[in-house]
């Protein structure tokens, strides 16, 4: 059996749920094990075991919380030497992307990014052009390294031993060069964007930052809805980055996705095309978003939004 | 301060992409400097204005990629290096990082800047690999570059739910987000001046790299069309658009 590792992120003691998605897949591919580094790692081991990790290589050392990427890549490289995994899966998140990039240089393995499926221990799949084409890629190297987009697999529990093996790798001083000295969280109100059953999302078509309050009104009228945004309006500084949906940003799979004034750039579509139902409002009838929408309305978002808020209120009566 | 900015020449992102075999079609498609890299060039220029020094652009690509480097030079960068070699067509991130590292190492550097990810490939892993090959730390997703001098940097790094302040010893590799600054336009004077600036073209041999160093291991097995998501009904809004959407939401049982 192939030895398949999942690199699990912990943030302020909390396990990144994407690790459970990856473990669910890793179980199908071979003997699943997990690596988790940083405060809360040992506590996370139990959960990782519940999702199929027979062994959890863990260290609670704060060096992994304080310093970026270098200690993790160093430790992983040591662990690879001791254990010879065949494949390591990472979630396509900020920290993992950095760590996997460095590890690729150390091992000489080609790192595949943005995978949406793992077909076998040596083959993974990604989608391009806004998800219209699927590309199967052969993985090379020892171990093979893949970054998988979050929400590619539905997590399901299947208990394994979850035996903790303490990682005791000495981290050299020259791997402690980029240090986190302050942490700031942006608080969002309402349900979490990546878990909300309805997402109302806005793009350039809203014309100015102030009009985002119409989306917030609509979301609160619908209830249990979260507000998201495209990269274009986040870059323009209209809304915080935490609201960004897409390739960089959050992947969402809500029951209903309402795209307002969003043309449908590839970068955005890969983050939302998994929605069960998509509604699009845009004034350009040629906008790519209409090609994936279940209901499309060609018109002025600023005119339609107040009417829609009213209509929703009436129907809820 | 010796600042290196990595730039990439990509097919115009405003033109719908097409495949040519198992690679992105580039022939007949207008190439541009990756819009994400303009933020990197601007960041480099601002640091030079503050700390003095020199901004060098480094790119890997076919001969036509000169366009992208020249565009960065016309924004104000001092010189450019383009590594061009037929055997690099289709290079993956590891090979790209090896080539860029070899070119960057030839001179002393304090800071290497890149965009967070390319607009055409958008994997964003190359800078981390590059940092490791250069033996320096990396800070990705940097959204402010104000407190940077020749030996240390204190920058804001975007996270999924906010940002972290990171202190980093230089030399280092940093990637900057779009929105980190407002890239300047190339002035007419800048465009004319760029024609006289040094733009060195190097081959793999010039960098002392062998074909083993740049063997491309990532192979495409096959490309297939994804199951298409069917487009539903599209209406012109005649005043009933909002009602149609509300009906749809009711039917989907979310209100």
Task: Name chain B contacts of A111, Cβ cutoff 8 Å.
Answer: 93-94, 125, 129
Residues 6 or more apart from A241 whose CB is under 8 A from it? A186, A234, A249, B143, B158, B163
List chain A residues with CB under 8 Å of B162: 183-186, 242
Region A79-99 average pLDDT: 97
CB contact under 8 A, B164 and A198: no
Residue A312 has pLDDT above 80, yes or no: yes
3-state helix, strand, coil in chain A (%, to 5): 35, 30, 35
Q: Is residue B221 part of a domain?
A: no
Alpha helices in chain A (DSSP H): 18-29, 41-50, 63-66, 70-83, 94-107, 212-222, 231-235, 266-269, 301-316
Whether residue B14 is predicted with pLDDT greater than 90 in this model: the reply is no
Nearest partner of A64 among A12, A5, A4, A6, judged by Cα: A12
Tens-digit pLDDT profile for residues B20-30: 777 777 777 78
pLDDT at A293 over 90: yes
> Is residue B64 one of the residues assigned to a domain?
yes
pTM beyond 0.90, yes or no: yes
Q: What is the pLDDT of residues A160-183, one digit of tens each?
A: 999 999 999 999 999 999 999 999
Laid out side by side, the sheet with B172-176 consists of A178-185, B162-169, B152-159, B138-148, B172-176, B111-115, B2-6, B54-60, B79-83, B199-202
Within A172-211, residue ranges assigned H as helices are none
β-strands A14-15, A117-120: how paired?
Answer: unpaired
A284 at interface of B, judged by CB pairs closer than 8 A: no
Report how many domains make up chain B: 1
User: Is residue B125 included in any domain, yes or no?
Assistant: yes
Residue B63: CB partners within 8 Å, gap ≥ 6?
A: B82, B84, B201
User: What's the rounded Cα separation, in Å, for the pair A127 and A270?
Assistant: 8
- Residue labelled with tokens 């097919």: B11
The answer to the question of residue B28 being in a domain is yes
Instruction: Name the pLDDT band for A58 (thresholds 50, 70, 90).
Output: very high
Contacts of B94 in chain A (CB under 8 A): 104-105, 108-111
Nearest C-alpha in B relative to A129: B17
A150 alpha-carbon distance from chain centroid: 4
Which CATH number covers residue B78?
A: 3.40.50.620
- Distance between CA atoms of B82 and B121, rounded to whole angstroms? 19
CB pairs under 8 A between A and B: 267
B198 touches chain A (CB under 8 A): no
Looking up tokens 């014309």, which residue turns up? A207
How many angstroms separate the CA atoms of A68 and A101, rounded? 12
Contact B246 A315 (CB under 8 A): yes
Contact B229 A273 (CB under 8 A): yes
Beta carbons within 8 Å of B212's beta carbon, 6+ residues apart = none
- Quote the CA–CA distance of A262 and A241 in Å, as a whole number: 17
Q: Do A178 and B161 touch (CB under 8 A)?
A: no
β-bridge partners, A198: A225, A256
The predicted structure's pLDDT at residue A317: 67
ipTM for the complex? 0.93
Residue B180 lies in a domain: yes
SS3 content of chain B, % helix, strand, coil (to 5): 30, 30, 40
Rounded Cα distance between A54 and B238, Å, is 60
Ramachandran angles phi, psi of B99, nearest 5° = -70, -45
CA dihedral A304, A309, A311, A315 (to 10 degrees): 150
The two three-digit tokens of residue B43, written as one number: 């960041």
Reference A271, options A305, A234, A222; nearest CA is A234
Number of Cβ within a 10 Å radius of residue A120: 14
123-142 in chain A: CB under 8 A from chain B = 123, 127-129, 131-141
Task: Determine the pLDDT at residue A188.
Answer: 65
Burial class (CB in 10 A: 0-12, 13-18, 19+), B167: middle
Is B56 part of a structural domain of the chain? yes
Among A200-214, A229-243, B32-46, B94-108, the minimum mean pLDDT is found in A229-243
Asked if A179 lies within 8 A of B168 by C-beta distance, the reply is yes
B87-134 per-position pLDDT tens digit? 898 889 999 999 999 999 999 999 999 999 888 888 899 999 999 999
- How much of chain A, in percent, has pLDDT values that exceed 90? 85
Domain extent, residue B37, equals: 2-207
Q: Decide the pairing of beta strands B162-169 and B152-159.
A: antiparallel
Burial (CB count <10 Å: 0-12, 13-18, 19+), residue A122: middle
What confidence tens digit (pLDDT) does each residue in B129-168 have? 999 999 999 999 999 888 998 889 999 999 888 899 999 9
Share of chain A above pLDDT 70, in %: 99
Q: Is residue B234 part of a domain?
A: no
Q: Indicate the average pLDDT of chain A.
A: 94
**Full set of structural domains in chain A with CATH:** 3-175 (3.40.50.620), 198-316 (3.40.50.1220)
Q: Does residue B255 fall inside a structural domain?
A: no
């Amino acid at each position: 059996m192939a030895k398949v590792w999942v690199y699990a992120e912990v943030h302020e003691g909390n396990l990144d749920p994407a690790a459970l998605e990856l473990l669910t897949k890793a179980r199908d591919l071979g003997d699943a094990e997990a690596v988790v580094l940083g405060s809360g790692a040992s506590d996370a081991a139990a959960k990782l075991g519940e999702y199929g990790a027979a062994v959890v290589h863990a260290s609670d050392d704060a060096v992994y919380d304080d310093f970026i990427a270098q200690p993790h890549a160093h430790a992983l490289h040591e662990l690879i030497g001791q254990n010879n995994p065949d494949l390591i899966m990472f979630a396509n998140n900020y920290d993992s992307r950095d760590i996997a990039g460095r590890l690729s240089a150390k091992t000489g393995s080609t790192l595949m990014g943005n995978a949406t499926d793992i077909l076998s221990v040596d083959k993974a799949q990604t989608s391009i052009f806004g998800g219209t084409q699927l590309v199967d890629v052969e993985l090379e190297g020892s171990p093979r390294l893949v970054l998988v987009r979050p929400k590619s697999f539905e997590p399901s529990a299947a208990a394994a031993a979850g035996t903790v093996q303490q990682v005791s790798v000495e981290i050299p001083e020259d791997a402690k060069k980029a240090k986190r000295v302050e942490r700031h969280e942006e608080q969002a109100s309402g349900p979490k964007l990546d878990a909300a059953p309805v997402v109302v999302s806005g793009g350039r078509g809203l014309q100015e930052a102030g009009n985002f309050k119409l989306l917030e009104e609509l979301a609160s009228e619908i209830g249990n809805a979260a507000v998201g945004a495209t990269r274009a309006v986040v870059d323009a500084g209209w809304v915080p980055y935490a609201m960004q949906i897409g390739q960089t940003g959050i992947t969402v799979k809500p029951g209903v996705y309402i795209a307002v004034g969003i043309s449908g750039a590839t970068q955005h579509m890969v983050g939302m095309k998994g929605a069960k139902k998509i509604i699009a409002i845009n004034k350009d009838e040629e906008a790519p978003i209409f090609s994936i929408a279940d209901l499309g309305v060609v018109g002025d978002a600023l005119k339609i939004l107040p009417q829609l808020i009213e209509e929703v209120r009436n129907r809820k009566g | 301060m010796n600042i290196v900015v990595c730039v990439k020449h990509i097919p115009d992102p405003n033109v719908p992409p097409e495949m040519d075999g198992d690679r992105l079609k580039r022939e007949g498609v207008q190439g541009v400097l990756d819009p994400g890299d303009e933020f990197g060039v601007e960041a480099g220029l601002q640091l030079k204005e503050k700390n003095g020094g020199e901004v060098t652009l480094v790119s890997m690509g076919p001969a036509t990629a000169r366009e992208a480097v020249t565009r960065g030079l016309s924004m104000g960068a001092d010189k450019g290096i383009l590594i061009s070699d037929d055997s690099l067509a289709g290079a993956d991130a590891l090979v790209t990082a090896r080539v860029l590292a070899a070119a960057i190492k030839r001179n002393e550097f304090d800071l290497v800047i890149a965009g967070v990810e390319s607009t055409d490939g958008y994997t964003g892993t190359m800078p981390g690999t590059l940092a490791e090959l250069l033996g320096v730390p990396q800070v990705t997703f940097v959204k402010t570059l104000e407190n940077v001098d020749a030996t240390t940097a204190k920058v804001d790094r975007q996270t999924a739910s906010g940002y972290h302040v990171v202190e980093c010893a230089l030399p280092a590799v940093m990637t900057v987000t779009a929105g980190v600054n407002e890239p300047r336009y190339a002035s007419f004077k800048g465009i004319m001046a760029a024609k006289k600036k040094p733009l060195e073209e190097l081959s793999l041999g010039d960098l002392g790299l062998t074909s083993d160093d740049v063997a491309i291991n990532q192979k495409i097995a096959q490309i297939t069309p994804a199951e298409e998501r069917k487009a539903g009904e599209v209406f012109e809004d005649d005043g009933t658009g909002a009602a149609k959407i509300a009906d749809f939401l009711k039917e989907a049982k979310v209100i």
